[in-house]
Amino acid sequence: MTESATSNRETLGFQTEVKQLLQLMIHSLYSNREIFLRELVSNASDACDKLRFEGLHNDALFENDSELSIRIGFDKEARTLTVSDNGIGMNRDEVIANLGTIAKSGTREFFSRLSGDQQKDANLIGQFGVGFYSAFIVADKVTVTTRRAGENAGQGVRWESDGGGEFAIEMVDKAVRGTEITLHLREGQDDLLAGYKLREIVKKYSNHIVQPILMQKEEWKDGKYETLDEDETVNQASALWAKPKNEITDEQYTEFYKHVGHDYDDPLAWSHARVEGKTEYTQLLYIPQHAPFDLWDRNARHGIKLYVRRVFIMDDAEQLMPLYLRFVRGVVDSADLPLNVSREILQESKDIEAIRKGCTGKVLGLLSDMAANDKEKYATFWQEFGKVLKEGVGEDFANKDKIAGLLRFATTHSDTPDETVSFADYIARMKDGQEKIYYVTAETFNAAKNSPHLEVFRKKGIEVLLFSERVDEWMLSYLTEFDGKQLVSVAKGGLDLGKLEDEADKKAQEKEADEFKPLTEKIKTSLGDKVKEVRVTHRLTDSPACLVADEHDPSGNLARMLKAAGQKAPNSQPILEINPQHPMLLRLKSEEKRFDDWAAVLFDQALLAEGGQLDDPAAFVKRMNQLMLQMGGD
């Protein structure tokens, strides 16, 4: 960069993340370099939308020119390409904040999570939302000249950078409001300096931007293009959602998604409908293919763009979607709301309530259809957004059953956590006489799958659902039945297999319970307050003992989760259940000398087997060693 003679020129450093993003972007998106134009046009379109909206309250912002448009031009000699708009523009502070940092929350975490290989993965960078910086894919210097509408008559700001570590900023003359972005193309990018090429890219990626995109008209003459002194509109410039469905192609829906969703990937599915009746609106809602990196950041922007009679009102209108559907992107265009609607008004509007209800229903319907008709697609959805959808069970009482029908679970009847079943699948293959839906919760899939509580269910071939996500315990507190069938944890309360157990078995078990009474009492005395009760169980076939929670106590897994989260878990003692068939218990019946050690080891083992942590691991190891020595000496 040459030193400018003007005294107000200042050089500033990019935020660290910007530098990283720039490098990643240039390398990983190069093979799809054309998207830079979509990103710049998309920003220009947003800037026009913002001006239109602010102008509703303040006509002066239009500076007597309310025809909003975007212009693309090029200069073959100078090897530059220019995208300009007469939208809202930026003042000096905004330029520094918007083009010198990444304002989005969660950026730092996002970058720190990427491995070297991932950094080369275009899809991952795409998830981040490529935006303005994508200009550097094709340019080795970018100059932005901008003036905010209604401010500093004639005085604008110029920002300039070569995409290294710094940018320069200075005040310059700028008569018209809005933003002009000039790209000084890299070597080898000269094919972009052609009208037909740019028109082709615009048609492909930005055809349905609402504002007209203007370019200088060209005429084919004497074997080459000649530019005329006249502009033409090169895109369709109409609101896509306002068109009838049968006039819109899949490509057009997809292209529009990339604009509203700030996404690099195609959408997974969409739903487009005009709703008539008491509240009138049009909705075009998309489900992305990938979860955004900030899905778990509750402050991240989410939601839907709100329009009123095709005038842009606001981004991220979170009132239009419940939180558990925060991954949905798209547009709602209301026919009834006033143009000067504010976020405060939205919170109380009956129309918004109706729209939210309608949109929620549409999305759940779309998902049900997908689950029924395209299992593979639904599996992708579930993989990306299943955890978020689970929040809906507790958040959306009215749609609880519908959401429960969309849930998918790992099960004892498959080998991997990815082979999942629905409640309907489970119920369809329940055993004769089975009345309940059985499940187990644990911290990991493996801990759930290998839980000792499952032993008798395995033996009898009864399917058990395996829950191992953090949200599951919380969700299950809201989900006590499905389709009239009670959900029962196999790690809580006494084992009740109902009709699945035969009379002879029950008799034998009662007898054993009596026979082992002296032993269970002795263990209880030895363990004292550590357990609420010690009893004989028939849920075990291989393990000597397990812990269960009393019917109305939190499960061991939940108690551990609460503790790990620093929350106070209600002080509940587990019940120790012993397996009367196990040799260890038979031996314990006649043990005298080291009974307390055996009892302690029995308890600690049971705790370890269900994924718990020992209070005093060293003591456990010491006892084990002593018992092993004792056995060797016997």
Which residues in this chain contact ligand ADP in the complex, by CB under 6 A?
Answer: 43-44, 47, 85, 87-90, 98, 129, 131-133, 179, 262
Nearer to ligand ADP, 80 or 98 (CB): 98
Nearer to ligand ADP, 133 or 457 (CB): 133
Pairing of β 437-441 and β 465-467: parallel
Smallest distance, ligand ADP to C-beta of residue 85, A: 5
Q: What is the DSSP letter of 14?
A: P
Smallest distance, ligand ADP to C-beta of residue 474, A: 32
Report the side by side order of strands in the sheet with 465-467. Answer: 410-411, 465-467, 437-441, 485-489, 481-482
- For 65, the 3-state DSSP assignment is coil
CA–CA distance, 220 with 20 (Å, rounded to integer) = 44
- For 234, the 3-state DSSP assignment is coil
Smallest distance, ligand ADP to C-beta of residue 159, A: 10
CA–CA distance, 33 with 137 (Å, rounded to integer) = 6
Contact partners, residue 610, CB within 8 Å, separation at least 6: 442, 447, 451, 452, 453, 491, 546, 547, 556, 557
Nearer to ligand ADP, 264 or 457 (CB): 264
CA–CA distance, 12 with 386 (Å, rounded to integer) = 43
Smallest distance, ligand ADP to C-beta of residue 76, A: 24
Smallest distance, ligand ADP to C-beta of residue 416, A: 37
Nearer to ligand ADP, 211 or 412 (CB): 211
Stated length of the chain: 634
Smallest distance, ligand ADP to C-beta of residue 259, A: 11
Smallest distance, ligand ADP to C-beta of residue 560, A: 40
Q: What is the DSSP letter of 314?
A: E
CA–CA distance, 482 with 478 (Å, rounded to integer) = 11
CA–CA distance, 106 with 103 (Å, rounded to integer) = 9
Phi-psi region of 332 (alpha: psi -120 to 50; beta: other; left: phi over 0): beta
Nearer to ligand ADP, 209 or 609 (CB): 209
Nearer to ligand ADP, 167 or 409 (CB): 167
Nearer to ligand ADP, 85 or 160 (CB): 85
Nearer to ligand ADP, 21 or 599 (CB): 21
The sign of the dihedral angle between the CA atoms of 87, 88, 92, 97 is negative
Nearer to ligand ADP, 179 or 282 (CB): 179
Smallest distance, ligand ADP to C-beta of residue 484, A: 48
- C-beta nearest to ligand ADP: residue: 131
| CB < 8 Å & 24+ apart, contacts of 211-215 | 211/44, 211/45, 211/48, 211/68, 211/69, 211/70, 211/85, 211/237, 212/69, 212/70, 212/237, 213/41, 213/69, 213/70, 213/71, 213/72, 213/237, 214/69, 214/70, 214/71, 214/72, 215/71, 215/72, 215/73
Nearer to ligand ADP, 109 or 483 (CB): 109
Smallest distance, ligand ADP to C-beta of residue 295, A: 16
Calculate ∠ Cα 132-137-143, nearest 5°. 55
Smallest distance, ligand ADP to C-beta of residue 54, A: 12
Place of tokens 């989900």: 479
CA dihedral 123, 129, 130, 132 (to 10 degrees): 170
Smallest distance, ligand ADP to C-beta of residue 162, A: 17
Strand partners, 141: 184
CA–CA distance, 254 with 209 (Å, rounded to integer) = 13
Q: Where are the extended beta strands (E) located within 471-618?
A: 481-482, 485-489, 533-536, 545-548, 575-578
**138 in Cβ contact with 129 (< 8 Å):** no
**393 in Cβ contact with 478 (< 8 Å):** yes
Nearer to ligand ADP, 178 or 554 (CB): 178
- Comparing CA positions, the residue from 279, 261, 280 lying closest to residue 270 is 261
Smallest distance, ligand ADP to C-beta of residue 166, A: 17
Nearer to ligand ADP, 83 or 500 (CB): 83
Smallest distance, ligand ADP to C-beta of residue 12, A: 16
Nearer to ligand ADP, 160 or 463 (CB): 160
Nearer to ligand ADP, 44 or 331 (CB): 44
Give the Cβ contact number of residue 513 at 10 Å.
Answer: 15
Smallest distance, ligand ADP to C-beta of residue 146, A: 6
